[in-house]
Amino acid sequence: MKQISGGVCAAKGFRANGIHCGIRHNRTKRDLALIVSDVPAAAAAVYTTNLVKGAPLTVTKKHLANGVAQAVICNSGNANTCNANGLEIAEAMSALVEQATGICADNVVVASTGVIGQPLNLEPIAAGVGALAASLSDQGSGVAAEAIMTTDTRMKEVAVEFTVGGKLCHMGGIAKGSGMIHPNMATMLVFITTDAAISSEMLQKALSGDIASTFNMLSIDGDTSTNDMVTVLANGLAENAPITSEGADFTAFMEALNTVNVTLCRMIAGDGEGATKLLECKVSGAGTEEAAKKSAKSVICSSLLKAAMFGADANWGRVLCAIGYSGADVDVNKIDVSFRSAKGEIQVCKDGAGVAFSEELAKQILLENEIEILVCVGDGPYSACAWGCDLTYDYVKINGDYRT
């Protein structure tokens, strides 16, 4: 398996595009994206656990009940959430795709991202969808990735090629996410495409299984969004023997999916609102998988730890504090902590107590833009990894007037 270019268009038979249609006032910002498959595809999705859900998620869940989809339409600038006519608008967006492409409206994934509680005007979408569809391209992943961005500062896309049953397959994804990210199923908006042949049941199993150790281990600010969704479309054009059960082919598919998802997790964490650093907490030595995950996620979610990383302050006590209230079953007297970056590695805690270390070296390590927080909680066999970012002044500035 190796990384390649192409994003969601790396897989055979997928085209994409992104335009500015007028939802957003800034005409330099694309705000409408479309991804289509040449043929109907097996489809799977996971959705936010927030009780307040965007109307597009309700419509998408209905459309994917049969495990089939052929297109994704997504707007940015408005979440279409808590709107009296939200469901009507989401269904109308699907109908517009059918008019422009001939793809059945019931085979369309609908997504929206942006401000909650603001009416979404269908007119700009209706006026722009024709041009959007007319310029679909197998080189269009980048502009589609731009069109789903909100407070993101850079687009997020990845693609890999891998082998299943002797056939070369491709998988690619784009994502948006910068703030309101603390998922309990998946996160933000992520669209993944592949030309591998796999049943919708096994596709759902793969996606639901992988997010537990990828997107569910990501947090920017502790807020679970109303519009979180991850979807995967698999059109089978690689012509491998369809994956219908577990085995070597399913394992190869899972490895590719995990690579795509981990890469997108790191991109999202590194582009957190106002962030200057990507944080990666690696926990080892846990007695259970649950203890490893709880410990890693709690460290990443700690506002005090995130603030310390912003200031390049090796305040390791905040790591232990976060593990202590995480609910993880660990022996706090066996915890070791080190910080690592491109500038080196330094141990700051052993067996739950501080050790002498160079503050100057620690500062240099923590001034880098990618920081690893290495935690060993004992001699158990389980480990976990979580991703996040530092907490900066700019996070408050961005969210202080986000709506206005």
The catalytic residues are 187
Q: Say whether 78 sits in a helix, a strand or coil.
A: strand
**If you search the block for the tokens 């042949």, which residue do you land on?**
197
User: What would the 3-class secondary structure string for 365-393 be?
Assistant: HHCCCEEEEEEECCCCCEEEEEEEECCCH
Query: Could you tell me where the beta strands, DSSP code E, fall in 311-359?
Result: 336-341, 344-350, 353-354
Q: How many CA atoms lie within 13 A of 30 on its CB side?
A: 23
How far apart CA 185 and CA 51 sit, in angstroms, is 13
Give whole-number Cα distances, 152 to 61, 315, 387, in Å.
26, 29, 17
Q: How many CB atoms lie within 10 A of CB 29?
A: 15
Work out the end-to-end distance of the chain between its first and last CA atoms, rounded to an integer number of angstroms. Answer: 45
Q: Say whether 243 sits in a helix, a strand or coil.
A: strand
Q: Do 171 and 257 contact (CB within 8 A), yes or no?
A: yes
How far apart CA 295 and CA 307 sit, in angstroms, is 18
Token pair listed for 101: 């492409």
Task: Give me the amino acid identity at 110.
Answer: V
How far apart CA 385 and CA 223 sit, in angstroms, is 20
**If you search the block for the tokens 């869940």, which residue do you land on?**
61
